Structure formats: C-alpha cells, structure tokens
Structure 1
Amino acid sequence: MRKIFKTLYAAGFAGALTFTAATACAKDITIAFVGNSMQYPYDVAVAKGFQDACKKLGCKTSILDAKGSVEREGNAIDDLIVQNVDGIAFIPQDSAVAKSWVDKAAEHHIPIVAVATQVGDPDKVPLRQVYGKLTALVTTDDVLAGEHSGGLAAKTLPSDRVAKIAIVEGSPGMSIVRQRTEGFRKALDKAGIKYQIVASQPTDWTADKGEAVCQNVLTAHPDIDVIFSQADDMALGCARAIRAAGSKAKLIATAGGSRLGNAAIRNGELDGSVCTRPELIGRLTATALYDAVTGKNTNKAQFITYDIPAITKANLAVCPPEW
C-alpha cells in the first residue's frame, strides 16, 4: 500500500486530474447556455447545437434567455453559479461587464465559455485575445469575417474616385462591432481602395432597425456606393430600404449564411456575405465545457473557431444555412 501511495503521490497533479475526471464522468453533468435573446434565430441555432452535442456526450443542458437585458443575463449567471452547475456558456451582451461574471464563475471553479464575442473592454482588448479566466472563447473569427466582407466590397467599388461607404453596426458594447469594422477596413486598405465612411450607426441586430438606419443613410447620402451590414438580419431590412429608395448601392454583409440571407443573395437583393455557423458554434461550445468538466482538456483561454468562406450567388452551396 505504501508503494502504491508513493507512486500516486509522485504522479502529482496529473494523478489528481485523473481522479477528478473519473469523478466528473461518474455523475450527471449539467451545462448551461445563456442566450442574448431567443428572439434571434442565431441564438436559437447556437442553443440547438449546444443541446445536440450535449445529448451525444451524455450530459444535461439548461437553456436560459436573457431577453436582450444585460441585467437579466448577469442574474442568470449568478443563479447558475448558486445552483452549482458544472459549466456555463453565454453570449456577452456587454463585453466589459461580462468580465465580472467570468471572475465570479472562476472563483467557484466553474468552467465558463464566452460565445461569439470577447470578454473585456471592447475598446482595449487586443483582437482575438481571450480573457485568461475563460475556459474558451468559441466564435467566428470576426476580424477575418470583416476582411472577407471588405474583399467583396472592394470588387464593387470605383477605382477612379473616393468611394462612399456606410456601416450598419450591431449592438453597442459588443467587441465584435469593432472587430468586424477593423477587418472590413483592413481589406479595403490592402486593396488600395480610396474610401470615406460617411455613416456608421448601431442597431439592435434586427431587420427593422437595419431598415431604419439604411433609410436614414440613403436620405443623407443618396449617392452611397456600398452599405456594409454587420449581420444578415440588418442587411435584410437594409435591402428593403435600398429597394424602396431605388438606390444602386451595393449591399455587403457579414455574419451571414442564414436561410433568409442566402435567399436574398440568390435573389440579388444582397451582393455577398460571410458564412456563419451558429449550430456548429453551439456544438463546439458544449464540447469545450464537457472536456473541461471531465478533465479531458483543462486548458484556459482557448480560442476556438472554424472556417468562414465569403459567399456570393456563385458559391452558396458551401454554406448550408443553420439559422
């Protein structure tokens, strides 16, 4: 017995992890996902992928809806910590505020994963950096997504004058807004395009708000060359505004690949977008949490992403819609 004890002691931390993993596998594992708002098809698709993966892994899920409220999201995460769930995933509605939620989960030794957007001050956190107390950030590479959109826009813009561009942003406070814009501008600069951003307005990620913003842009700048929408949903509303105004502006989106967005590309209402796969994000998120809980992968601050091709009418088949 003494010899066995010494062998286990010599194994040190690795042995402790093995014991922890065996213990975790022996019990029912429950992991939770807190959506930004289940009114958004994107969040519903993430939740579906999360549940599908967990079912295959043999764990249980708890799905909560923050209903677009930062306060409600914080309360939901607090409640999950009190309930001592095994792991938590959430879509940060406010990247800066979310840091305190991650800190609290870490204090209670609960693995926590941020989905779709960074944690930390969106104006200060370096691009692609993952907050150290997170198990992982599972996301589209939004800098690259912006670059793909900028590349699509560059092909439509004039080379003999300064092009006029408007940006339809997502919700304020989310790091992806800055990332998508920076990637977009990087691609235009690389292509040598001379341009001016004549308007850049936030939205609540909805088609109605996208339509309202684009109506304002087209009224103020009827000669706009390109409108860049930071998600398919706003682009759908923007397409209505362009059609109503009889504008010849090109419409480029990112965070695309939705059923309605792909249909708009097919019909010529949207000139291009970038493939987004929220169900896959949900599956990757559940797997990252499960691996952390069972001790299979206890690494911190992982950046987990996937391939995101630019899509146009010519190659829609590469991006089957998941939302």
Structure 2
Amino acid sequence: MGATGRRGRTARALAAVALLGLVAACGGKVGENGRFGVVYLDAQGFYAGVRAGMQAEAEAIGHSPQLLQLNAQGDASKESTFIDQVSAAKVDALILSPASATASVPAIELAHDSGIPVICYNTCIAEESARKYVAAYVLGDPVRFGALLGERAAEYFRSAGERAPRIAVVNCEFVEVCIQRRLGFEKALRAELPGARIVANQEGATIDEAVDVAERILTAHPDIDAFYGEAGGATMGAVRAVRARNKVGQTVVFGSDMSTEAARALADEDVLKGVVDISGIAVGKLAARAAQRARSGQLSDYTVVAAPIELYSTPRHGTEWLRTHPDGVP
C-alpha cells in the first residue's frame, strides 16, 4: 500500500474510533500528548473508576493523552473491530480488560505486531499468549481476592454457630479471573469450615441476570445460607433477590466489587456481610503508569503489576466508603 493509501486508512480508522467514543484530556491541543486506545469490559462502575484513575495519573505526570474508548459489553467481536481500528491509527498504547482469554488473542497479537504496547488490567489473555504480546498486566491476585472473602464467610458462620453452611455461587466464570476467585474462596472457607458445601454455581454477571439466577437458585435451594457473588453485578443481584424473596435473616451475601449500592447494603447490615474490592481508580492509575513506561521502552518483558486488594466487612466500612466516594466512582 502506498503512502496515500496508508493516510486514507488511518483517517478512516480515526473517524471510526471517534464514533465509538473519544475523550480528550483537559487543556492543550487534542492528541498532542499521544493517544491511548482503551477498552472497558462492560458498563459496571469499576470501569468508571478505571477511566478516572487513568486520567488522574496522566494529568499528575503532566502528559495527558487523548483516550479513544470502547465499552465492549463483553463482546470479543466488538473488541476486535475496535483494536483493528486503533492499531491502524497507530495509538501509543492499548489498555484493555479483554473479553476472552482465547478469542481476544488475535486482535491483541495484531496490536503487538503493529508496534503498539498492550497493557491488560483486571482480565487478560491466556498467560502463554500474554507473555508474547502483552507488556504489562495490572492484576489484584484473584486467588487472594477470593480467599479474603472465604475467610470472612468462615468468620461470620463460626460466630453464628453454623459449621456446615450451604452456599450458592453467582459467577462471572466466562473470564479466568472469576474462576480463580472462586477457587480462592472455597479453599479458604473449607480450611476453616470443612463441612461447607457449594450447592449451586450459575452465571449471572450483570445485576439483572444475577437477580434472575439468584431467584431461581432460591427456588431450587430455599434453605441456602449464603450467596457468593464473584463480581459486582452478581453480588448486588443476589442481595436484591434475597430481599425480594423475603429471605432476610436467613440467607446472607458475600460479594465482590464496591459500589454505592454495595456500600449502602453493607451499612444496612441485613444481607451483605462482606465485600472484597480492587479499586478501579487505583487500577486505572497503575495502567496509565504502565502504558507510559511501555511507550517509552522501559518495559521490555511481560510484567505483572500488583493491584491492592481491600476487604470491607462491617457497617462502618460501608458508611466510610460512602463518605470518601461521594461521586460513587469506585
């Protein structure tokens, strides 16, 4: 392809990206500090935190790039189309939470082969491929994430005199991270309460899906003691289902990912008894920092960047989170 053809392709790609969502940092000429392609896995509040964190970090180091953004809605095909476009547009870095450990590989390989540093956060492609095509992976250890909640659940049931709790899982196990969370949860719970049983495990990643799934589980297992929600939508869907089915006082919820609704539920103390969280803002800052390092050649090998994990287990924790997050961005 000649120079004119390349320019035409880049122009078309930029126009297409603009339709998918373009945000420029405040001040200066648009794009003068470079451009990052950014993919959010879905519309849950965590990703609003990631975006806020990326922008705050970029501004803090005085190098605010233009963000070309997409909410992939868990769709690897939509994600692939976007990555093809930003690769043609020669963005300075690609920052994403991939929709699939396997289906996302070809698009990420394309970005890598186009000379674009790839930064994963929250989820990533399979490790063998990540080591080939990904510069950095911002990750809160998912096994430890689940283990913190398993320990909290064991503590709660011991205090309630329940040695063999029956627990149902509402999952997001289309991504590997959620499988690892459950394994960590189960191992920590059974280390303290060997009689604990998982009686159901069904997918319900968004709140609407999770409400339906949790209500069906309550119909099939009306005597369960708890739900474990592997992600934010799963957690709050389970909380809503417990309340809708008048199971308050019988069935509790242990969940993942803080939000305004989760913090209020924790403060209420009636259903939600523990939440483990990785701050989206913190992840966004780490991802932006890794992207800056990668684009300047400071990351030469695949690097895992540890994200902090926090446990919220009391009503006071919920109230404090609401006070420190008045805008609701996690």
Please state which band the TM-score falls in when normalised by the shorter chain.
0.7 to 0.9
1:218 aligns with: 218
Letter in 2 for 1:35: Y
From 276, 279, 282, give the equivalent of 2:281: 279
Q: What is the TM-score with the length of structure 2 in the denominator?
A: 0.80
Unaligned ranges ≥5, structure 2 = 1-31
Cα distance change, pair 137–108 in 1 and its aligned pair in 2 (3 A): same
Unaligned ranges ≥5, structure 1 = 1-26
From 31, 34, 50, give the equivalent of 1:29: 34
Q: What is the TM-score with the length of structure 1 in the denominator?
A: 0.82
Letter in 1 for 2:33: D
Deviates more, 1:211-220 or 1:313-322: 313-322
Cα shift at 1:145: 0.8
1:252 aligns with: 254
Cα shift at 1:225: 1.3
SS in 1 for 2:156: coil
Cα shift at 1:139: 2.3
Q: Distance in 2 between matches of 1:275 and 1:96?
A: 26
Q: Distance in 2 between matches of 1:178 and 1:239?
A: 21
Deviation string, structure 1 residues 204-248 (Cα, Å, up to 9, x no partner): x22111111110111111110121001233222211211222221
* 1:69 pairs with 2:75: yes
Deviation string, structure 1 residues 253-281 (Cα, Å, up to 9, x no partner): 02x22121111100123111112200111
SS in 2 for 1:167: strand
1:20 aligns with: none
For the Cα contact (< 8 Å) 2:224–2:251, is it kept in 1? Answer: yes
SS in 1 for 2:119: strand
Letter in 2 for 1:43: Y
Cα shift at 1:283: 1.2
2:262 aligns with: 261
From 39, 45, 70, give the equivalent of 1:41: 45
1:196 aligns with: 197
1:307 aligns with: 308
From 272, 288, 312, give the equivalent of 1:270: 272
Matches within 5 A, 1:110-129: 110-120=116-126
Cα shift at 1:160: 6.6
Letter in 1 for 2:110: K
Letter in 2 for 1:304: V
SS in 2 for 1:298: coil
Q: Distance in 1 between matches of 2:76 and 2:171?
A: 19
SS in 1 for 2:144: helix
- State percent identity of aligned pairs: 24
Letter in 1 for 2:147: E
* 1:80 pairs with 2:81: no
1:100 aligns with: 106
1:15 aligns with: none
* 1:181 pairs with 2:182: yes
Letter in 2 for 1:285: A
Q: Distance in 2 between matches of 1:237 and 1:173?
A: 18
Q: Distance in 2 between matches of 1:65 and 1:318?
A: 26
Cα shift at 1:298: 1.7
For the Cα contact (< 8 Å) 1:86–1:293, is it kept in 2? Answer: yes
For the Cα contact (< 8 Å) 1:133–1:300, is it kept in 2? Answer: no
Q: Distance in 2 between matches of 1:141 and 1:100?
A: 25
Cα shift at 1:189: 2.6
Letter in 1 for 2:35: T
Cα distance change, pair 69–130 in 1 and its aligned pair in 2 (3 A): closer
SS in 2 for 1:299: coil
For the Cα contact (< 8 Å) 2:138–2:307, is it kept in 1? Answer: no
For the Cα contact (< 8 Å) 1:45–1:282, is it kept in 2? Answer: yes
Q: Distance in 2 between matches of 1:160 and 1:287?
A: 46
1:18 aligns with: none
Cα shift at 1:318: 7.2
2:144 aligns with: 144
1:163 aligns with: 165
For the Cα contact (< 8 Å) 1:130–1:303, is it kept in 2? Answer: no
For the Cα contact (< 8 Å) 2:100–2:124, is it kept in 1? Answer: no
SS in 1 for 2:33: coil
For the Cα contact (< 8 Å) 2:166–2:196, is it kept in 1? Answer: yes
* 1:59 pairs with 2:60: no
For the Cα contact (< 8 Å) 1:88–1:110, is it kept in 2? Answer: yes
Cα shift at 1:72: 0.6
For the Cα contact (< 8 Å) 2:101–2:175, is it kept in 1? Answer: yes
